[in-house]
Structures are given as structure tokens and as C-alpha cells.
Amino acid sequence: MRNFTPLFDRVLVEVEEENYSTLSGLLVVRTGGGGAALGRVVQVGMECEHVKNDDQILFSPEYATPTPEGLLIVEERMVLGVYDEDDSHS
């Protein structure tokens, strides 16, 4: 993939598989149409304050812009939350 840096508060996201398990083992199955999507941050713009590269995020995909490489560009305000990768408290 070519070098790409999102501008301003944009986030480059790789959408993760549609079905996934939570840390407690609950299987979450995505069924088309609306809703939030799970993704991994590939690159952030210089004005992003709340997400960083490699964060696993939940975001609103309806306003995302697809790239030729199959990734999505979203504004940081469309990120609903960041998953905590440290599962030592579970």
C-alpha cells in the first residue's frame, strides 16, 4: 500500500471481520444494514486527539469514504469508542 496520511481529524480504518467475539466469549454477529462497525486504526491525521494508530475502535460507517485499497476514511467524531486492549481486569 502506498504511504497515505489522513488530513486534519480524519482516521484511516481497516474494517475488521463482521462477526467477532467479546473478551467474555459472547459472539457478536453483524447483520447488514446500519449500526456501528468494528475496525482497526491504520493511520490518524495530525489533529486527532482521542485515537491513535492500531487502536481497535467502534465507529459509524455511514459517513465513511472508501479508499481504492478497501479501507475507510472517517472523521474522528464518528468514532464511538476505543476498546481497551488490556484484558487483565476481566
The answer to whether residue 47 is domain-embedded is yes
Q: What is the CATH classification number for the domain harbouring 2?
A: 2.30.33.40
Global pTM exceeds 0.85:
no
Residues of the domain holding 70 = 1-17+34-84
Residue 8 in domain: yes
CB distance 71 to 12 below 8 Å: yes
Q: pLDDT (tens digit, 0 to 9) for every residue of the chain, 90 residues total?
A: 578 899 999 999 999 866 556 666 666 655 556 688 999 999 999 999 999 999 999 999 888 999 999 999 999 999 999 998 765 544
68: which 3 cell numbers?
481504492
Report how many domains make up the chain: 1
pLDDT value, residue 63: 86
22 in a structural domain:
no
Rg (CA), the chain: 13
